[in-house]
Structures are given as structure tokens and as C-alpha cells.
A and B are shown apart, each in its own frame.
Chain A
């Protein structure tokens, strides 16, 4: 993209249509294609082809010829699969709204600050820039039942120590908290940009008309942030539907997605089938399921969330 822009700028300043009977537009397109051909080939080879291959694999069984639905019927009968699907939905429902709400709150707060604005932005954005693996392991130590910081604090305050990642009832929430903590900085940054794009005149006009703070927020800020909200919701949902790294590092080592599959997501399930049991055909079936799921959810989101975006 950047290269394309660079090539375009000087082209406009030279007399058009002189070289070898090509139009300016034609030449620009050709330059664009020349640059794009490598990434496109690369993309086709390492993204599109394996994806199609996975579709194919999911309808076959190792060692027997012909297409079959055996992988899918086995998957749909596996209670652990359904638990993973349920968990994945929980992750999405818990983390996406909360991290967006917190991100907006932070963005609004920081927006009002005069000095140190950049400093606070960096502080809240830092978790997002940090490696998920490192963050997960630090949180794992914080959550540790016997020696963890969190329980030490709770006990210090006279509250009972909790099981956190050890407790099947709390483990998913514990993982979700890490995910929220890490992504809310990203939401904040995008919201900040969205807020900056809203013309200040709107607020001035509203204030003259006697609008209060809440009214300005609900009638000006929120509607004008709609594109940002749509973007964050879609990105957030896709990310959480694909959650793997946090779970693998917070609960891995023993049984990933544990205890008792209470934190397993669809991707964790797929990983275990593919890379612990080496049943690629079966694992492909869960990948296809996830693909279709993300496709449907994203299409619905586009429909629902874009509806309000008209001024």
C-alpha cells in the first residue's frame, strides 16, 4: 500500500499517456499488480490452499477412500466439543462488551486530561503490546492458589482465598479477565482516535442549545463512534472466537483447557485433536465448524451493528 502511494504521487506530476501507448491508469494498475503479485502468490500458497485442503480433509477419514461425514457426526456427539463451543461463546459474551466498555471509559477519561495524556495512553496500551505468552505466565503466577499474589491480597484483606484457575467454576472467568485486561488498551486507543475525529463544533452547538453531558454523549459521541464500535466489535468477536494463546499458557502444561475442560475453546479442542491425537481429518472438521461460525457471526454483526450508522 505504502509503495503504491509512493509510486502514484510522482506519476501524477509527469505528462500523462506518453510511454508506449498506455494510459496513466493502466500503468498505475500494472505497477500495483507487480507489487501485489508476490504477496498474492504467498497468500494463495500458505493461506488459501491449506484452507481448501482442510475442507477436503474434514470430509475424509485416514485409510478409507471416498467422502464421508464421519468426522462431523463424531464431533457433534462429543460432549467435550460442545463444552468447547459453549466456553467459546462465554468468552465472547463476557470479554467483548466489557473490554469495549472499559476501553471507551478509559478513552473518555484520558480525553479530558490535559497533561500526561500520552503517558496514560501508553500505560493502558502496554498490556496489548506485551507478548500474550509472557502476560499469561505472569498472570498464572498471580492466580496461583497457594503462592499467588491475588490470594495473598485477599487473605490480607480478611477475605477467603479463591481457587482461580484451579477451580472449574472460576477458571473461565479468570482467563476472561486476562483477555479483558489485555485488550481494553487496544479498544481505548481506537476509541481515542474515534473521539478525536468528532468535530468539536457539534459539542459547542449542543451546549448552546442547552444539552447536558449525558445528552451530548448519547446523541453525539455514541452515534458518531458507531464505525469504531462496529470495527471493535467485529475484531473483538473474531479474536475471542479464535482464542487459544491465553488458554494454552494459563492452563497448559497439565491438560490444556482444564481443569476438566472448563476453559477449553474451539481452537484448543482443534489443537488437541490435531496435534495431540494426530487426527488431522477430525481436527479439520472442527476448523471448518469454526470457519462457518465466524462467517455467520460476522455477517450478523455487519447487519445489526451497521443499522444505526446513519446521520
Chain B
């Protein structure tokens, strides 16, 4: 009995401090890094990004380089899965254990500003004018108040990927991808294979809403049909300001409804279908280049189609961008600025392109010969001069509203004119909700 009780107490004595210690250590850890800024020369800053293998490796490598040049600054890199990333940041900030620099999607900036999670780029570090001069025009504040809160390394744009083998099999010239939307539909029809009861065996074009589809509609088709999608302040949805808006919608929706060249859920999704060799063409970002290394077919990539030959080009740009968290000040802020300055330098931009496949965001590199001569990068790089970055207030909500409105026509046989009205109204509502109308 006595021995047993001693054992029991010993076990408890071992467990309790362990548990309490585990609780305590996270608290003391943040306290440590918080106090390291004052007086002491050594400063530690944290950098958070979402888990994307190549980016995680790249950042670790860059940090080593940076720390070698700045021995008194330590950068701690952490990464979390994409779908939990925003939650993780907001939750950690509320607990006082958030990052000093956070890498976020441009479409999240407004939401982060609203949550007071990030601070404007200090003007004594880089003024709004400095930033505008430094970057290609697709890099915009994205914050709703005209201030820049973040600095990107690279920008992504869209291009048309096409499967040369499927082109050949359908009797098309594999070196002549479509130049206009009408050509795209015609080519896609030839590559689409269906069963007798109307199920797809192969799709000519990876038509979708939730992937790059709705970006393509918003920033490419609408503009080519003469519509500026949003007002300058981002508050007003102007899709139905001109009749071209509905024409664009009809054309786009008919690709799947009437022309039947592709459907959203075929083979899981458009990019999976394309990688599996079951879709003739898809519109996707430069980040897809990495996956294409494993493709078991001959493929090419080209600029997005226009309405008619020689017509207006347009494209959608997006980027992951680095912001300084709210509350970072003093020596930590200076260290964060130094690290940002390093990240957006020309050398890092070039390195980033080589290892990640995203196009440099700096103006100085937009005419770089190495990039424009590369058949894979060129369509994306060229697009940056005419691409538009959507100002998102709540990207998830916009996308969901988009999916719902189009599904009314796709699944419930609601006339296009009605789902169009619903679509425009729901997009406006997302913005009204954000701006508190």
C-alpha cells in the first residue's frame, strides 16, 4: 500500500509540472521575444507564411542569407496550412503570440486591415509614392483606405495552358493555340468527348467558377466587353452599368450551358482534369508551372484570348504580400523593415522566380530579357503590363456568392437574366457588408 501510494504521488509529481510547464512555456516564450527589442542589440522577429513546400524552403534559405548580412537580427520562420492560416494569425494575435511579419494574399489585405491585424508601411521607410514607383502597376494598396500595408516579392497572372497531345488528337495544330474567345470555344468543342447521355469523358476547356474562372470573368471578359468591374474606391459593383456586362456573362455561361465545352466538377476540378490529361485547355496562374513538370503529355502556355484579333487584352493579377503586424515598433520595427527591404530586392525577386515560378513584382525587372525569352514565363510576364488586381473586401464571400448565383442557372434552370441580377446584387452586398452600409 505504502509503496503504491508513493508511486502514485511520484507519478502525479511528475505529471503536474509537465502539464503546467507546457502551459507556462508558451506564455514565457512570447514575453522573451517581446522584450528583446529594447536596449539589447540582438533583435528577433518572426515571419509567418502558409505552408507551401517550395516557399518554405526558399524563405529559410533567404533568412540564412539575411542573417549572415545582419548578425544582430534573427528571423524565425513559421508556417501553417493554407486553410487555417488566417484563423491562426488572428487567434495568435489576440493571444499576443502573433507574427511580426505576415505573408498574406492580396485579397486578404482589406480583411486584415479591418481586423486591425497589420499596420501601414511606415512612410519614413517607403512612402506611397516610393512603393508605386518601385512596383509594376498591378501592385495596388488593396486596403480600402489608399495606404499600402504590405510589399510583395512577386506577382502572378493568368495564362492559357493547353495540351498539345489533345490538340493533335482532335486534328488541331498544336502550335496554334486559340487567340480569340470564339476560337477557344471552337477548338474546345473539337476536343470535348461525351457519352450518349451527356456525361463528359474529356473536356475541351476546364470551365469553372471557383478556381480562376470567376477572376477571368471579372477582370478579363467584363473589361473586354467594355465594363470596369468596380468603382475606384471599391465600393460599387459596376457590372451592369453597361449592356456589355450581361453580354459577357451570357457568353461565359454559355461556354458550359450551350457550347458544352467543360463543366466545373469534371474529374474533381479543372486543374486536376488538365494534369490528368483529360482537359484540352485551362486558364490558370504561373504557380501551376511547378505542377506541370510532372505532366505526362506535351503542353504549351500562351496569353489569354481576346474578343477579336487585335482587340483589348486583359488579365487578372494576384500576389502574396508581406505585412508588418500591428503593434510592432521600436527596434523590432526597424528590423522588420530591414528584412522587408531585403525580401523585395532585385536579387531575391530573381531567385524567387527561379525557385517558385512567380514573376518579379519590381518595375525594374519587368523588361528583363531572361524572363521575356523564356517560353513558359513570357505569357505571364507580358500580361503584367495589362493585368488588373481585384480589390477584394471578402474574397471567400465574393466567391461563394458567385458560385451560388451561377448555380441558379446551371442547376436550377433559372434564366440567365435573373441569375445575372442576383449575381450583381450579391456582389454589391458583400461590399456593402464590409463597408458597413
CA distance A144 to B199 in the complex (A): 10
B115, A278: Cβ atoms under 8 Å? Answer: yes
B407, A146: Cβ atoms under 8 Å? Answer: no
Instruction: State which of A6-14, A214-222, A225-233, A295-303 sits at the interface with chain B.
Output: A6-14
B269, A253: Cβ atoms under 8 Å? Answer: yes
B1, A276: Cβ atoms under 8 Å? Answer: no
B397, A261: Cβ atoms under 8 Å? Answer: no
Check A161 for interface membership: any CB of B closer than 8 A: yes
B1 to chain A, nearest CB (A): 4
Query: How many residues from A make CB contacts under 8 Å with B?
Result: 34
B87, B267, B396, B407: the one contacting A277 at CB < 8 Å is: B396
Check A166 for interface membership: any CB of B closer than 8 A: yes
A151, A167, A254, A277: the one contacting B394 at CB < 8 Å is: A277
Check B412 for interface membership: any CB of A closer than 8 A: yes
Decide if the interface of chain A is mainly helix, strand, loop or mixed: loop
Measured CB to CB, the nearest residue on chain A to B84 is A275
CB neighbors of B among A24-76 (8 A): 31, 34-35, 38, 42
Check A196 for interface membership: any CB of B closer than 8 A: no
- Known A167-B411, A255-B403, A255-B404; judge A276-B396 contact (CB<8 A): yes
A260, B1: Cβ atoms under 8 Å? Answer: no
Check A259 for interface membership: any CB of B closer than 8 A: yes
A260, B266: Cβ atoms under 8 Å? Answer: no
CA distance A141 to B16 in the complex (A): 47
For A145, A166, A254, A277, which residue has the most chain B Cβ atoms within 10 angstroms? A254
A255, A258, A260: the one contacting B412 at CB < 8 Å is: A260
Decide if the interface of chain B is mainly helix, strand, loop or mixed: helix
Check B257 for interface membership: any CB of A closer than 8 A: no
Complex interface bits, A254-267 against B, C-beta within 8 A gives 1, otherwise 0: 11001111000000
A275, B87: Cβ atoms under 8 Å? Answer: yes
B411, A147: Cβ atoms under 8 Å? Answer: no
A260, B269: Cβ atoms under 8 Å? Answer: no
Q: Which chain B residues border A253 with CB–CB below 8 Å?
A: 210, 269
Check B15 for interface membership: any CB of A closer than 8 A: yes
Check B181 for interface membership: any CB of A closer than 8 A: no
Q: Which chain B residues border A259 with CB–CB below 8 Å?
A: 407, 411
A201 to chain B, nearest CB (A): 42
CB neighbors of B among A134-186 (8 A): 141, 144-147, 151, 155, 160-161, 163, 166-168
Check B12 for interface membership: any CB of A closer than 8 A: yes
CB neighbors of B among A258-300 (8 A): 258-261, 272, 275-278
CB neighbors of B among A100-133 (8 A): none
Check B4 for interface membership: any CB of A closer than 8 A: yes
B267, A260: Cβ atoms under 8 Å? Answer: no
- Known A151-B199, A255-B403, A259-B407; judge A14-B111 contact (CB<8 A): no
CA distance A255 to B210 in the complex (A): 8
B411, A166: Cβ atoms under 8 Å? Answer: yes
- Known A38-B19, A151-B199; judge A278-B264 contact (CB<8 A): no
Measured CB to CB, the nearest residue on chain B to A41 is B19
Check B25 for interface membership: any CB of A closer than 8 A: no
- Known A11-B1, A255-B400; judge A260-B411 contact (CB<8 A): yes
A34 to chain B, nearest CB (A): 6
Number of inter-chain CB pairs below 8 Å: 81
Q: Which chain A residues border B86 with CB–CB below 8 Å?
A: 275, 278
Q: Which chain B residues border A31 with CB–CB below 8 Å?
A: 8
B8, A155: Cβ atoms under 8 Å? Answer: no
For B265, B403, B412, which residue has the most chain A Cβ atoms within 10 angstroms? B265
CA distance A168 to B8 in the complex (A): 58
Measured CB to CB, the nearest residue on chain A to B395 is A276
Q: Which chain A residues border B8 with CB–CB below 8 Å?
A: 7, 31, 34
- Known A155-B195, A254-B264; judge A261-B404 contact (CB<8 A): yes
- Known A260-B408, A276-B396; judge A144-B111 contact (CB<8 A): no
Check B90 for interface membership: any CB of A closer than 8 A: yes
Check B263 for interface membership: any CB of A closer than 8 A: yes
CB neighbors of A among B391-421 (8 A): 394, 396-397, 399-400, 403-404, 407-408, 411-412
CA distance A268 to B195 in the complex (A): 35
CA distance A34 to B12 in the complex (A): 8
Q: Which chain B residues border A163 with CB–CB below 8 Å?
A: 411
B16, B209, B267, B412: the one contacting A147 at CB < 8 Å is: B267
B260 to chain A, nearest CB (A): 12
B265, A258: Cβ atoms under 8 Å? Answer: no
A254, B199: Cβ atoms under 8 Å? Answer: no
A35, A160, A254: the one contacting B197 at CB < 8 Å is: A160
CA distance A166 to B411 in the complex (A): 8
- Known A144-B265, A145-B265; judge A258-B404 contact (CB<8 A): yes
Q: Which chain B residues border A14 with CB–CB below 8 Å?
A: 1
CA distance A272 to B403 in the complex (A): 15
Check B200 for interface membership: any CB of A closer than 8 A: yes
Q: Which chain A residues border B399 with CB–CB below 8 Å?
A: 255
Measured CB to CB, the nearest residue on chain A to B16 is A38
B397, A277: Cβ atoms under 8 Å? Answer: yes
A7, A146, A168: the one contacting B200 at CB < 8 Å is: A146
CA distance A103 to B81 in the complex (A): 38
CA distance A167 to B413 in the complex (A): 12
12 examples of A-B residue contacts, CB within 8 angstroms: A10-B1, A146-B266, A166-B411, A255-B210, A255-B404, A258-B403, A260-B408, A260-B411, A272-B396, A276-B394, A276-B397, A278-B115
Top 8 A-B residue pairs of the complex, sorted by shortest distance between their CB atoms? A276-B396, A254-B210, A14-B1, A146-B200, A255-B403, A146-B199, A255-B400, A146-B266
- Other A-B contacts than A166-B411, A260-B408, 7 sampled, CB-CB below 8 A, are A11-B1, A14-B1, A146-B265, A147-B199, A253-B269, A259-B411, A260-B404
